[in-house]
Amino acid sequence: MAQNYLTGACLCKNIVYRIMLPASESFPKVIICHCTNCKRYTGSSFSANIIVPQSSLEYTKGSPKVYLDHSDKGGQVLREFCPDCGTPFTSRSGDDEEVVAVKSGTLDEEHRLNCAKLTTEIYYHRKDKWVVDMGNEDVQRINGSMGG
């Protein structure tokens, strides 16, 4: 049976991965986490993720480093990242070896565009207030960088 696949890498391209999905499975949906640790881990106001079977994720170049974190409930959270450039790759509950949350920003552009719609926001009560404004029409939109 044919398979769908997604590929991605870190900023420095020292670590590359592939996610193999059965043809019967649609492209992953996006889940956003607003917890404090995910904000710190990503350096952003939230962590955008796709949830995939752990067995479908394969690093094809390089190996990430693992940081052992803990959730606000005390459970272990394993976080993989590039030891060279610091790009965060995954988060996974230490109690769940079946699925892994892959940071959607690490997907290659053509595969990131294939992700399905946002389905879930967790720790919604911790959502930064300005994030709600992202859909407002009065927000300036620039198709490129701010300068230089």
Average pLDDT over residues 13-22: 94
Higher-confidence position of 116 and 68: 68
Taking the complete model, does pTM exceed 0.85, yes or no? Answer: yes
Higher-confidence position of 41 and 72: 41
Q: pLDDT tens digit string along 87-123?
A: 999 999 988 889 999 999 999 998 888 777 889 999 9
Set out the domains of the chain in order of their start, with CATH numbers. 3-129 (2.170.150.70)
Cα angle 93, 34, 41; round to 5: 65
Q: What pLDDT, on the 0 to 100 scale, is given for residue 1?
A: 45
Average pLDDT over residues 129-148: 80
- Is 90 exceeded by the pLDDT of residue 55? yes
